[in-house]
Each structure stands twice: as structure tokens, then as C-alpha cells.
């Protein structure tokens, strides 16, 4: 099946020139939306993935990010009573997802590459695969710890920090023929949860930019003033690449607890109070989250951001409503 998709993809590439995100940002006359999708679980039909992408195409996103999820492990009880550790891959590969999207729609894709769980040689192999397929954009991220681990543990023959991965990609560019990669990296307006303070975290971000990153996409936030302060601090620190804000609308009351736990972010009190006031009315909560994110997006566009990045997390209806209103 993968070779079938790749065949379509390669025929598609013969008729289209991909663009770097840095070029898109430089040449765009107005701000645009970008989308991030999660690779589907094993067994999901390809058409279901493509239909999800189709819902966004009427808004002409310039590119689609495809996230990378670490392999997981399970423990299986053996006949002798001991437990053995087994690798579990629950999702379709990023290569297959990128190929499926680009073979169907005229849009660039940005696969995410993470340090976690991979050796330097394995990550280099990924770069060769993407270059072979004509993909010229990647997001370089450290990645999260695997389930059950409290702290991130790098592969013994891999990279500990994202700036090391960015440097490795730039070295790969120097040593291989053809076009270099355009590299995006992550930024944290409310700091990465492992950073001691925001100043230290911005220093870490500058290391990624100095290593060769072309632009930054931020973690989601719910207070635009947090983003504007972060942007100012980045500029003062000498980070001059484009910074793209990332948004996600709240859609359930449960997310008021889950998102701060998962992403180490704050949700403004006025928003939590509105959701609490809605009580068990799920539709009301959904609309509150939608309206809040829509106002965030409008305000960001008024402030001249180059683009707005949306974390879909498997949801399309609320994101398309915002895009329809704002773009």
C-alpha cells in the first residue's frame, strides 16, 4: 500500500514544484492559516484522512503540518511469569501521510522530525527519504518523553536537544546534493515546562535559530498578551525569524483541566468562568471556546502576524468556522 501511495506521489511531483515555508512567508501579501494534523491510527481508511484535509482546502492553506508520534512500548507477560518489553506502532507513518496528502491535493506538507526514540542514523535516513520525495520543509522538535517516563530520555546514539537536531539537518544539507531543507522549530510563549524561567527558554530558542532554524511556530496559548510579550522578548534576544502563533479552540469543559496539564499553559480566568457558568451544556461550552479562539485570531491578524497555525487534534468543524470568519 505504501508503494502504491508513493507511486502516485512521485508522478505528482513531476508536475509540481514544492515551496519552502520561508519563501511562502516572504512572498505572501497577507496572513494565511496553516493546519496541523495527527497521523491516523492503524486501520483508518486513507479516504477518511483525505476527507479531513478536504474540509480545509477551500480556505487555501499554504501547507499542512504532519505531526510525529513516538513509538510506544507494552509489556507482555510470558509463560514463565516474566514480562518482556515490546515496541508498539499505533499510527500510520508520516511518510505515508505526507505522500497521500500531496498526491491528492496541491499543497506542501511539513513532516515533524523528533529526537525522541531515534538514533542519529535513523533521523538521517528520514531526511534522505524526505529529500527523495521532494519534501523541502521539516519541523525539528525534541519530542516528549514516552508514556511512563517522567523526563525525556534521548536515544543513546541520538540527540538530546532540538538545536542539536537542527545542526544535524544543516550538516546533512552541506553534505548532500540538492536543495536544503527549510526548518521550523517550536516556541513556548509560557515557557517549556522543563525550563526554569522564560528567559532561559528564549535562550534555548535562540540556540535553535542560531543553529539554522528558519521560523518558529508557538505552542497554543489562550491570552494574546502572552504571545505579544513573548514575541517582544524574542526580538530583544536577537531572534529575527518569523514567529507564527499557534491556536486551538477549547471544545469541552474537560479540556480546561487537560490542556494545562498536558501543555503547561494558563487559561484566563474569564474564560474558565464562562465555561463553568455553562455547566453541563456541552453546546454552550463548545460555542464559548469557538468564540474565544475566533477573537484571538482576529486580534492576532490585526497585529500583523504572518500566519496563524491551528492545532486540529482530530477536530475540523470549529477550525473551519474560525477560518471562514477570519481568512
Better-predicted residue by pLDDT, 267 or 2: 267
Q: What torsion, rounded to 10 degrees, do the Cα atoms 250, 52, 22, 26 define? A: -80
pLDDT in tens, 234-255: 999 999 999 999 999 999 999 9
Q: Which helix (H) or strand (E) holds 37?
A: strand 32-37
Position 23 in a domain: no
Q: How far is CA 21 from the centre of its chain?
A: 14
* Local confidence band at 116 (pLDDT 50, 70, 90 cut-offs): confident
Overall size of the chain counted in residues = 327
36 is catalytic: yes
Position 209 in a domain: yes
Alpha helices (H) in 162-247, listed in sequence order? 162-175, 198-211, 224-236
pLDDT for 76: 66
pLDDT in tens, 157-189: 889 899 999 999 999 999 998 889 999 999 999
What mean pLDDT comes out for the span 189-201?
A: 95
Position 211 in a domain: yes
Cα distance between residue 182 and residue 204, in whole Å: 19
- Please give the tally of structural domains in the chain: 1
C-alpha cell at 236: 530583544
Residue 49 pLDDT > 60 = yes
Residue 7 pLDDT > 60 = no
- Percent of the chain as helix, strand, coil, to the nearest 5: 45, 20, 40
Residue 69 DSSP label: -
Residue 18 pLDDT > 60 = yes
Q: Which of 4-11's residues contact partners 24+ apart within 8 Å by CB, and which partners?
A: 5/46, 5/96, 5/99, 5/100, 5/103, 6/99, 6/133, 8/99, 8/103, 9/99, 9/100, 9/102, 9/103, 9/133, 10/133, 11/103
Residue 140 pLDDT > 70 = yes
pLDDT for 74: 55
C-alpha cell at 248: 486551538
Position 151 in a domain: yes
- The answer to whether 6 and 133 are in contact (CB under 8 A) is yes
Residue 1 pLDDT > 90 = no
Position 292 in a domain: yes
In three-state secondary structure terms, 111 is strand
- Return the ∠ at Cα 178 (arms to 181 and 307), rounded to 5°: 30
Cα distance between residue 234 and residue 205, in whole Å: 9
Residues of the chain with pLDDT > 70, as a percent, come to 86
Position 25 in a domain: no
pLDDT for 222: 98
Radius of gyration, alpha carbons of the chain: 20
- The answer to whether 286 and 322 are in contact (CB under 8 A) is no
Position 27 in a domain: no
Side-chain-side CA neighbours of 51 within 13 Å: the count stands at 6
Residue 6 pLDDT > 90 = no
- Adjacent-strand bridge partners of 72: 88
Give the pairing of strands 307-311 and 72-77.
Answer: unpaired
Position 24 in a domain: no
pLDDT in tens, 65-104: 999 765 555 566 667 767 665 555 677 888 889 989 988 9
What mean pLDDT comes out for the span 60-67?
A: 91
Query: CATH number for the domain including 59?
Result: 3.20.20.220
Q: Which of 36, 94, 164, 231 is catalytic?
A: 36
- The answer to whether 244 and 309 are in contact (CB under 8 A) is yes
Residue 109 pLDDT > 90 = yes
- DSSP assignment string, 235-292: HHTT--S-EEEEE----STTHHHHHHHHH-----HHHHHHHHHHTT-HHHHHHHHHHH
Give the mean pLDDT of the chain: 88
Q: Which domain does 157 fall in, by range?
A: 2-8+32-326
Amino acid at each position: 500500500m505504501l508503494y502504491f501511495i508513493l507511486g502516485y506521489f512521485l508522478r505528482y511531483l513531476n508536475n509540481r514544484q514544492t515551496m519552502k515555508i520561508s519563501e511562502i512567508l516572504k512572498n505572501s501579501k497577507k496572513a494565511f492559516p496553516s493546519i496541523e494534523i495527527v497521523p491516523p491510527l492503524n486501520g483508518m481508511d486513507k479516504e477518511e484522512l483525505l476527507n479531513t484535509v478536504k474540509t480545509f482546502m477551500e480556505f487555501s492553506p499554504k501547507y499542512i503540518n504532519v505531526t510525529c508520534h513516538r513509538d510506544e512500548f507494552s509489556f507482555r507477560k510470558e509463560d514463565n511469569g516474566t514480562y518482556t518489553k515490546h515496541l508498539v506502532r499505533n499510527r500510520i507513518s508520516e511518510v505515508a501521510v505526507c505522500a497521500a496528502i500531496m498526491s491528492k491535493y496541491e499543497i506542501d506538507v511539513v513532516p515533524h522530525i523528533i529526537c525522541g526514540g531515534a538514533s542519529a542514523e535513523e533521523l538521517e535516513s528520514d531526511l534522505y527519504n524526505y529529500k527523495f520525495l521532494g519534501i523541502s520543509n521539516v519541523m525539528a522538535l525534541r519530542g516528549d518523553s514516552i508514556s511512563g517516563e517522567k523526563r525525556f530520555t534521548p536515544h543513546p546514539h541520538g540527540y538530546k536537544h532540538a538545536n542539536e537536531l537542527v545542526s544535524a539537518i544543516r550538516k546533512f544539507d552541506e553534505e548532500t546534493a540538492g536543495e536544503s531543507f527549510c526548518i521550523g522549530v517550536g516556541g513556548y510563549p509560557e515557557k517549556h515546562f522543563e525550563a526554569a524561567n522564560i528567559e532561559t527558554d528564549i535562550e534555548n530558542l535562540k540556540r535553535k535559530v542560531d543553529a539554522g532554524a528558519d521560523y518558529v511556530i508557538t505552542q497554543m496559548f489562550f491570552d494574546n498578551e502572552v504571545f505579544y510579550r513573548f514575541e517582544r522578548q524574542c526580538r530583544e534576544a536577537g531572534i529575527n525569524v518569523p514567529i507564527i502563533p499557534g491556536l486551538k479552540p477549547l471544545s469541552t469543559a474537560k479540556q480546561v483541566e487537560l490542556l494545562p496539564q498536558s501543555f503547561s499553559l494558563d487559561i484566563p480566568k474569564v474564560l474558565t468562568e464562562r465555561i463553568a457558568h455553562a455547566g453541563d451544556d456541552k453546546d454552550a461550552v463548545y460555542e464559548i471556546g469557538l468564540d474565544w479562539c475566533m477573537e484571538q485570531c482576529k486580534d492576532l491578524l490585526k497585529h500583523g502576524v504572518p500566519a496563524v497555525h491551528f492545532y486540529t487534534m482530530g477536530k475540523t468543524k470549529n477550525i473551519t468556522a474560525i477560518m471562514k470568519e477570519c481568512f
